[in-house]
Structure 1
Amino acid sequence: MSDIILGIDLGTTNSAVGVVDSGFPILLADEDGRRITPSAVWFGKDGGSEIGRKALRRRALEPGRVVTSVKRLMGRRFGEETEFPVAMARTADGGVTVLDHTPEQVSAQILGELKRIAEWRLETAIHKAVITVPAYFNDAQRAATKRAGELAGLEVVRILNEPTAAALAYGLDKLSEKSRVAVYDFGGGTFDLSILEMQDGVFQVLATHGDTRLGGDDLDLALARRAATLGNVEFDSLDAAARVKLVEEAERVKCALSSSEEAAFRVPFYDGANSLETAVVRADFEAVAAPWIARTLRHCRQALADAALSPTDLDAVVLVGGSTRIPAVRAAVAECFNREPDVSQHPDEAVALGATIQAGVISGALRKMVLLDVTPLSLGIETFGGLMNVLIPRNTTIPCKAGEMFTNAAAGQTSMRIRVLQGEREMSRDNWELGAFEVTFESLPKGQARVGVQFRIDENGILEVLARDVVTGKDTIVQIRSAAVDVDDIAVGKMVSESVEHAFEDMAERVFTEAKLKAEELLPAVEMVLAQGLATDVERSEIEAASTAVRDALSSGAATPLKQAVQKLDLATEALAARLVEKAMEEALERRLADG
């Protein structure tokens, strides 16, 4: 039984664990027969802890000691998340803790409980797992999830994107068909929209878009505020325990309104003395939910554009996550994609089921299927002139690797600073820096030092950068694990939008910069050649006129005129350059004959 690998959905609001048994993926229930475990941990003042429903039962009495939605803090720096159910503290290295525990330690408690359930059900020790994350989790967030698994005593054999896991669950009985499927995953704390192509057991992500700070928790809070307003209660003036009671009731009412047109919002003695009771109709809830639903649709449209597809190119739209039970969500998705969504999968269990399937594939318990994810943003390095040089374009299938050779920009240079960038803009300054390091090499003439740079992204989406001095063979290897920048998904969406919005200006600046670098290299060389007196009067006149045009274009700052002027100067010096090469070859031959 040592080859058992668990499939785990580590969710913002709820989590689940499964295993392949006798060739079938199943989710494992706890002692109460429940397959879903709330992602909540209570930390007592005496050092004790409780997990899941036991923790939630303590929330009304001790709201400040129950940690929920810890997934939102995974891999993040202090200050990046401004709102959280319990107080956050800053660590010495700029990280964040809650109740003296890091997010990884809190998540490890949840993972440990899922591991306990599995070992109790299967009556054997288990040490390996596949764990899911939102598709838009950045490198630091993925690495933090992996560390949480290790703290729980699990070897994390694969970090799997949640929409891809859902597609695996959806496609298990459709392996012989070729189809394109959009997975709309609206969970408790995160949202993802991925478009996948499935054929003969191969699942390839064509595009993905999402938001790690958008989920059902936001709808609960919005509804609680709305109900408080209807009941003439100032929500923000309540203490933490009272707000928790209202949000818990909002979650219940939200679920009730999925099947009823009206529900009573009732919280007796929410502050110990006063009670709140008001009727909430579905239209009230749909009004407060509308902005969040609209945000999900923007991600849907962006993913379709990234995949160069229209809704009619899709074979199905699959709904995943508890928030997709809301009728307004289903109606909005149907309108956006011009088709009724597929609700055949259990919305709370599909991701865990997919993780279990993938775990079974890795362990050999299920027949082989191939998973191909993609990079959400382009990756590259800064080159001379502040340009972004892309090595791995956005939406490249992973795992993958790509490399390029670079040379020294100046004579006598003994090192090169490698800035690893992520983003879609043409200039380095407009992209995000994931890391930077120095590569040293021997002092050589300009253009003769050679440094090869290779990017490799593994199946977990973690980036490794290798820089090699070709002359000495010395390697510098850096693993980009914890970028100190806020690469959240609102910013990702903004990055993509800005790359489209500024496409013409960015390209113009890139063209100007490249032409400027060429001009600055060409002008001194032309002056040196003219000084040798090998040019005819006609050539000299033409070259000097072309040089003047280049200098004028440099002063004007216009991209197209400069590029054209540089090309004209290059063309004007072609015959002279050929003559110089011929003269040099003749002189070299004469020296060789004289030496012989």
Structure 2
Amino acid sequence: MIVGIDLGTTHSLIGVHGPDGPRLIANALGSLLTPSVVSVGEHNEVIVGRAARERLVSHPQRSVAAFKRWMGTDRVTALGKHRFRPEELSALILKSLIADAEADLGHRIEEAVISVPAYFSDSQRKATRIAGELAGIKVERLINEPTAAALAYGLQQRDGGGRYLVFDLGGGTFDVSILELFDGIMEVHASAGDNFLGGEDFSQALLDAFLSEHGLAASQLALTELAILERRIEALKHDLARGSEVGLELTLAGQTRAWRVDEAAFARICEPLVQRLRAPLERAMRDAKLSPGQLDEIVLVGGASRMSLSARLVSRMFGRLPLRHVNPDEAIGLGACVAAGMKARDESLEEIILTDVCPHTLGVSTSRETHGRYTTGIFSPIIHRNSTVPVSRVERYFPTYDEQRAVEIEIYQGESPRVEHNVRLGMVSIDLPPKRRDENPIDVRFTYDINGLLQVEAVALSTGLKREVVLEKNPGVLSPDEIRQRLAALAAIKVHPREQQENIALIARAERLYEELLWAREQLQDALVQFRGALDLQDPELIAHHRAEFARYLDAIEAQA
């Protein structure tokens, strides 16, 4: 069986497609959502999920979140004695999800379909595949998150097809895709987005506004104080989705600070971010060559789409209310399950062809002569963004000078007219006979396949000499040898057993409340000692009893906070 996985910035989910349709699988704590957070304990053991999220407050230097934004880079995060790349942190989340699925299904999981932001670059997609490999699974397919959302809404089952815009605002990324359904085909016409815009940024805007109003800087606060403030701001943002005015009060830098904010103030604070949401929407519509009236439906997904300003923006721009009847936190996970079912050729699913597009423009660096001088570093596109893949395109170029013996063709990805602002992917060089430049043409062919592999072929037409390179590796992406080394290193790291997750999460929650609530510290300390003592006795019935009592006590304490 192939599982579907939503590997999210804030939360991740796993599920399968069965006789009754897509089904998400709960983790060891009974929740469908596993926080995408990793922490390292005092004995350098790895903690994943809810317990790790609680430790963002109590142990901020040993915990990390939102690392999906670093995928495709060589950034390294130090947690305790361990040093992790983004792929490894994601692999730890995947391993936790897979353990939950195996416990539920009763057999080993070896294959998965994983969702990725539509606007993820080539290197980010490769890093996601590597994360799966490090987690011990084969990634059968990467599916774009907006396409997964469309599957979750069952748009592929609608009679007569139609055109749909999917607005996907997650915790750390924003995607827009325009899809058309016809004759058993789900075709992506255009994708746009921002890999550094999501719910986390709206929370940060609120936090910055709070600090500014109170004359504080983040650098003035202790790490634990900042973590507590971040958590309270996140809760305040969620409360704003349910009420017109909310507030918070807490002690920072030795003083009690109170703050209230309403929807209008929130909209003012976040106006620059709303404008950043608008730009990809406009770009996708332009690239798809559509007007708002040509869309049949607009679908909102992603946890951050719950913010009222998301629906207001869409309603103003397109003159209609969006669809939002599927839980926005679960939509992409459910769609990944449907895609997994399709990949496994589930008989209950109609055959549908899913097309994709190249999210970024691919081209080469060229030079041009102006006013008797050569200007270098000019980007010459060969495959434009939103070209349906697989795609193969060729362009003809000439050497810069007469008698030139060789050319080095530098390959770039991006949307800037100057290559210095784009991402360099690699290079291919080819020898030339000594001729006049206009007698020495070179054809450069780019072929981009559905798995994100770019093949570049250069042919010197005067000699027939051919050179090619397949760009499987990007800057910041691990090589096969490095993957083997990291796989061995991850296997040696101790991870808390799944059956202990509930106990670990309760202890982490109590430690977080101890950090936050000065008035309850003595009682919390007593309760923690009692619970740890029960764990030491290793009596399952006694532990279960104390766990239930401890959880009820923490619920009561948090309700008073």
With normalisation by structure 2, the TM-score equals 0.76
Q: 464, 468, 474: which one pairs with 1:482? A: 474
User: What is the alpha-carbon distance in structure 2 between the residues aligned to residue 340 and residue 454 of structure 1?
Assistant: 44
Conserved in 1, the CA contact under 8 Å of 2:146 and 2:168? yes
Q: 360, 367, 381: which one pairs with 2:364? A: 381
User: What is the alpha-carbon distance in structure 1 between the residues aligned to residue 90 and residue 24 of structure 2?
Assistant: 20
Q: 5+ unaligned residues in a row in structure 1: which ranges?
A: 79-86, 90-95, 486-596
Secondary structure of 1:454 counterpart:
strand
Opposite residue 117 of structure 1, the aligned amino acid is D
Opposite residue 478 of structure 1, the aligned amino acid is V
Aligned to 1:16: 13
Aligned to 1:207: 190
Question: Aligned pair in 2 of structure 1 residues 382, 280: CA closer, same or farther (>3 Å)?
Answer: closer
CA deviation profile, 1:252-307 (whole Å, cap 9, x unmatched):
1111111112223133x556x55444433333323222221221012212221222
Q: 341, 345, 353: which one pairs with 1:364? A: 345
Aligned to 1:315: 296
Stretches of 4+ aligned residues off by more than 4 angstroms: 96-99, 228-236, 386-389, 404-414, 423-432, 441-452, 468-475
2:45 aligned with 1:48: yes
Q: How far 1:212 moved relative to its partner?
A: 0.8
Aligned to 1:71: 68
Q: 383, 401, 416: which one pairs with 2:407? A: 416
Secondary structure of 2:108 counterpart:
coil
Aligned to 1:339: 320
Q: How far 1:205 moved relative to its partner?
A: 1.6
Aligned to 2:426: 435
Question: Aligned pair in 2 of structure 1 residues 270, 54: CA closer, same or farther (>3 Å)?
Answer: farther
Question: Aligned pair in 2 of structure 1 residues 329, 404: CA closer, same or farther (>3 Å)?
Answer: closer
User: What is the alpha-carbon distance in structure 2 between the residues aligned to residue 426 and residue 102 of structure 1?
Assistant: 32
2:283 aligned with 1:302: yes
Aligned to 2:386: 395
Opposite residue 473 of structure 2, the aligned amino acid is R
Secondary structure of 1:194 counterpart:
strand
Q: How far 1:250 moved relative to its partner?
A: 1.1
Conserved in 2, the CA contact under 8 Å of 1:19 and 1:359? yes
Q: How far 1:129 moved relative to its partner?
A: 1.1
User: What is the alpha-carbon distance in structure 2 between the residues aligned to residue 376 and residue 323 of structure 1?
Assistant: 22
User: What is the alpha-carbon distance in structure 2 between the residues aligned to residue 226 and residue 15 of structure 1?
Assistant: 29
Question: Aligned pair in 2 of structure 1 residues 167, 234: CA closer, same or farther (>3 Å)?
Answer: same
Question: Aligned pair in 2 of structure 1 residues 238, 403: CA closer, same or farther (>3 Å)?
Answer: same
Question: Aligned pair in 2 of structure 1 residues 293, 430: CA closer, same or farther (>3 Å)?
Answer: closer
Q: 99, 115, 120: which one pairs with 1:116? A: 99
Q: How far 1:5 moved relative to its partner?
A: 1.4
Equivalent residues in 2 for 1:546-585, closer than 5 Å: none
Conserved in 1, the CA contact under 8 Å of 2:40 and 2:80? no
Conserved in 2, the CA contact under 8 Å of 1:235 and 1:243? yes
Opposite residue 62 of structure 1, the aligned amino acid is H
Secondary structure of 1:59 counterpart:
helix
User: What is the alpha-carbon distance in structure 1 between the residues aligned to residue 204 and residue 278 of structure 2?
Assistant: 20
Conserved in 2, the CA contact under 8 Å of 1:40 and 1:55? yes
User: What is the alpha-carbon distance in structure 1 between the residues aligned to residue 210 and residue 440 of structure 2?
Assistant: 68
Q: 235, 241, 244: which one pairs with 2:227? A: 244
User: What is the alpha-carbon distance in structure 1 between the residues aligned to residue 140 and residue 150 of structure 2?
Assistant: 19
User: What is the alpha-carbon distance in structure 1 between the residues aligned to residue 214 and residue 382 of structure 2?
Assistant: 57
Equivalent residues in 2 for 1:446-525, closer than 5 Å: 452-467=443-458, 475-479=467-471, 481-483=473-475
Opposite residue 474 of structure 2, the aligned amino acid is S
Secondary structure of 2:385 counterpart:
coil
Q: How far 1:110 moved relative to its partner?
A: 0.6
Opposite residue 5 of structure 2, the aligned amino acid is I
Secondary structure of 1:47 counterpart:
coil
Q: How far 1:106 moved relative to its partner?
A: 0.7
User: What is the alpha-carbon distance in structure 2 between the residues aligned to residue 342 and residue 70 of structure 1?
Assistant: 30
User: What is the alpha-carbon distance in structure 2 between the residues aligned to residue 190 and residue 114 of structure 1?
Assistant: 21
Aligned to 1:216: 199
2:164 aligned with 1:178: no
Aligned to 2:132: 149
Q: How far 1:168 moved relative to its partner?
A: 2.1
Equivalent residues in 2 for 1:525-540, closer than 5 Å: none
Conserved in 2, the CA contact under 8 Å of 1:227 and 1:265? no
RMSD of Structure 2 on Structure 1 (CA) = 3.0
CA deviation profile, 1:443-497 (whole Å, cap 9, x unmatched):
6786776755332212133322233567577543231531479xxxxxxxxxxxx
Aligned to 2:268: 287
Question: Aligned pair in 2 of structure 1 residues 446, 300: CA closer, same or farther (>3 Å)?
Answer: closer
Q: 233, 237, 251: which one pairs with 1:254? A: 237
User: What is the alpha-carbon distance in structure 2 between the residues aligned to residue 214 and residue 260 of structure 1?
Assistant: 24
Q: How far 1:10 moved relative to its partner?
A: 0.9
CA deviation profile, 1:234-265 (whole Å, cap 9, x unmatched):
54421221111111111111111111122231
Q: 58, 63, 69: which one pairs with 1:61? A: 58
Opposite residue 343 of structure 1, the aligned amino acid is R
Aligned to 2:180: 197
Question: Aligned pair in 2 of structure 1 residues 11, 429: CA closer, same or farther (>3 Å)?
Answer: closer
Secondary structure of 1:112 counterpart:
helix
- Could you tell which deviates more after superposition, 52-61 or 404-413? 404-413
Opposite residue 137 of structure 1, the aligned amino acid is F
Conserved in 2, the CA contact under 8 Å of 1:135 and 1:161? yes
Conserved in 2, the CA contact under 8 Å of 1:421 and 1:435? yes
Opposite residue 31 of structure 1, the aligned amino acid is A
Conserved in 2, the CA contact under 8 Å of 1:434 and 1:484? no
Q: 5+ unaligned residues in a row in structure 2: which ranges?
A: 369-375, 478-561
User: What is the alpha-carbon distance in structure 1 between the residues aligned to residue 416 and residue 38 of structure 2?
Assistant: 41
Conserved in 2, the CA contact under 8 Å of 1:175 and 1:201? no
Q: How far 1:231 moved relative to its partner?
A: 5.7
Conserved in 2, the CA contact under 8 Å of 1:65 and 1:99? no
Secondary structure of 1:60 counterpart:
helix
Opposite residue 165 of structure 1, the aligned amino acid is A
Aligned to 1:528: none
With normalisation by structure 1, the TM-score equals 0.71
- Could you tell which deviates more after superposition, 378-387 or 459-468? 378-387
Secondary structure of 1:115 counterpart:
helix
Aligned residue pair count: 466
2:120 aligned with 1:129: no
Question: Aligned pair in 2 of structure 1 residues 173, 432: CA closer, same or farther (>3 Å)?
Answer: closer
Question: Aligned pair in 2 of structure 1 residues 57, 270: CA closer, same or farther (>3 Å)?
Answer: farther
User: What is the alpha-carbon distance in structure 1 between the residues aligned to residue 436 and residue 279 of structure 2?
Assistant: 52
Q: How far 1:422 moved relative to its partner?
A: 3.3
Conserved in 1, the CA contact under 8 Å of 2:74 and 2:85? no
Q: How far 1:226 moved relative to its partner?
A: 3.1
2:352 aligned with 1:355: no
Secondary structure of 2:273 counterpart:
helix
Question: Aligned pair in 2 of structure 1 residues 426, 219: CA closer, same or farther (>3 Å)?
Answer: closer
Secondary structure of 1:15 counterpart:
strand
User: What is the alpha-carbon distance in structure 2 between the residues aligned to residue 428 and residue 274 of structure 1?
Assistant: 51
User: What is the alpha-carbon distance in structure 2 between the residues aligned to residue 18 and residue 185 of structure 1?
Assistant: 20
Aligned to 1:165: 148
